Amino acid sequence: MKKIWNVSLNKESVLKEVTLYGWVAKKRNLGGLIFIDLRDRSGIVQIVIRPEDTCYELAESLKNEYVIQVTGKVVERENKNKELVTGEIEILVVSLQILNTSLEIPFQITDETSALEDTRLKYRYLDIRRTPIKEKLILRHKIMQAIRSFLSEHDFIEVETPILCKSTPEGARDYLVPSRVNKGNFYALPQSPQLFKQLLMVGGMERYFKIAKCFRDEDLRADRQPEFTQVDMEMSFVCEEDVMDITEKLIADVFKKVRNIDIELPLLKMKYDDAIKYYGSDKPDLRFEMKIMDVTDVFKKTSLAFIRDGLESGQVVNAIVAKNGASYYSRKEIDKCTLFVKNLKASGLMYLKNEEELTGSIVKNLSAEEKENLCQSLALEKGDVAFLVLGEYKLVKNVLGALRLKVAKDLEMIPSHEYKLLWVTDFPTFEYSEEEGRFVACHHPFTSPKDEDVDKLLKDKEHCYSKAYDIVINGYEAGGGSIRIHNEGIQKKMFEALELTPEDIQNKFGFFVEALKYGTPPHGGLAIGLDRLTMLLSETDNIRDVIAFPKTASASDLMSDCPNTVSKKQLEELGIEIVKKA
Ligand code: ASP
């Protein structure tokens, strides 16, 4: 049977007899005529049933969301409906059949809904009938299709990798699966197919991809899910430029095919250190400018004791300028900003407004020369307000990077429907973890250091940089990867740098280190977050909108009520006992 989609019917179909299938979206009785909005995946078409039709009584019994089969004749409408794709025609019924009934639904299947998200998630199958959700799932499908065809055309092979694995080292907490056959032992669900894709390079596949489910047991944030999807890629005999080049072509191709948006290539590349310096973030949103400026020098001879003391201990003063923000930032709004930066551990917020005169928290204590220098360095014009933060370099950048985003939102500076993409490159290899009291890997332990930094792995971790890159879209990290270590000796050094004991290395990665000894080609790759990419392309900021059956912020599925308890027998088979805490 060839399905006739509702929206395929138009004036050219007039006089044709068609059989349609779908759901009753709406029923109206006007002067004896029954009008039904029949909905299928493609959209709505109007069905008309006249009092003389034999199915009239049956039609009267129809309720919303009943599933029906209608055979009828396509006719041109007298009153055209411009809102509907099929608004020029309607179907005069010949026969009607109810394929199934429906209970009264807990919320209406409309584009806009006031239903609570929890209710929508409990009845997700009904929510999917709503156009905004359905369209996002269709868009996601188109993205995946575009990715698959682009990568296949560029010699990538789609290879499946296991879901039951040994714990993978992405740095997050693993989801564990107990083994029945090997009691007391566990599989981990993959945080990513990282080691497998590298092993596929050892296996000579040369170009691999997979649309991979990844699992990370982390506390969830707004744009995170416990299971998410990555477009995972790996290539042999490549350098950083090669991976970035093919990836940006892939992304541009997806934007074009799915949304008909042209992305200008090559993308801008920004070193990590510069991203932090100018935007206070390793995923800068470049849809607006507002760079962070260093004005430490202006305060060299300041009379303000707290700044002088700060500078003497190596602190810096940085600033951002909110163009034309002076009138928005009333005392009350500035207080909100102060609270905002204090929550990010800044000691305080200074500001400088250029209105009729210069006003602000520190103006009284600035000399005429300092004021002039400050205004000049900041290019502070009438109507502008500058926000200044004193503190240790990293903290100041982080605070102003976050404030920059807040100001842009406050002043509505972020253009909608615009995409700004860039690469952030040259990441540090390590970052210091206060929590663990040691250096940990910035990406993962298989990331190759820059050739000139190999010797710094053990000696100068702070200044060791990696062949790693992230692709950033509108302030989101949309993907990231690196050139890998393919030399067993360097890999060992890296593990050593991360303070793994030889037993740890053997236990966790023994099989991998062993593989590196058998002719491993130079290789590298990256993974793109498919959920995020779909969010960006469908212009939603709710990750649950782009996933068919998502989990809530507490990692549960409200529809199937999962996770839940299992039977005693299941636990016994696994040799697991649940200990209830008193
Ligand atoms: N496996 C990495 C991740 O999930 C991506 C990569 O390095 O290819 O973040």
Instruction: Tell me the pLDDT tens digit for each residue of 504-560.
Output: 888 889 999 999 999 999 999 999 999 999 999 999 989 999 999 999 988 999 999
The 10 Å Cβ neighbour count of residue 327 is: 10
Helix (H) / strand (E) containing 247: helix 240-259
Q: Where are the beta strands (DSSP E) in 289-410?
A: 293-294, 316-322, 350-354, 358-360, 385-391
The response to whether residue 530 sits with its C-beta less than 6 Å from ligand 1 reads no
The 10 Å Cβ neighbour count of residue 418 is: 10
Answer for the pair 233, 209: CB distance below 8 angstroms, yes or no: yes
Q: Find the distance separating the first CA and the last CA of the chain, reported in whole Å.
A: 62
pTM: 0.94
The response to whether residue 526 sits with its C-beta less than 6 Å from ligand 1 reads yes
CA–CA separation, 232 and 470 (whole Å):
14
Collect the ranges in the chain with pLDDT lower than 50.
none
Alpha-carbon separation of residue 42 from 130, 143, 401 (angstroms) = 11, 18, 44
The response to whether residue 170 sits with its C-beta less than 6 Å from ligand 1 reads yes
The response to whether residue 46 sits with its C-beta less than 6 Å from ligand 1 reads no
Alpha-carbon separation of residue 129 from 65, 111, 124, 523 (angstroms) = 10, 10, 9, 44
How far from chain centre, in Å, is Cα 431? Answer: 23
The response to whether residue 482 sits with its C-beta less than 6 Å from ligand 1 reads yes
pLDDT for position 553: 86
pLDDT for position 305: 92
The response to whether residue 194 sits with its C-beta less than 6 Å from ligand 1 reads yes
How many A from CA of 404 to the centre of ligand 1? 28
CB within 8 A of 443, min separation 6: which ones?
A: 427, 466, 468, 480, 482
Closest CA to ligand 1's atom 8: 526
Give the mutation target among 191, 526, 532 for probing the ligand 1 site: most ligand atoms within 8 A of CB: 526
Closest CA to 398 of 296, 288, 282, 290: 282
Closest CA to 320 of 374, 384, 386, 381: 386
The response to whether residue 192 sits with its C-beta less than 6 Å from ligand 1 reads yes
CA–CA separation, 348 and 335 (whole Å):
10
Task: Please give the DSSP secondary-structure letter assigned to residue 465.
Answer: B
The response to whether residue 229 sits with its C-beta less than 6 Å from ligand 1 reads no
pLDDT for position 435: 85
pLDDT for position 167: 76
Helix pair angle (502-515, 488-497), 10° resolution: 150
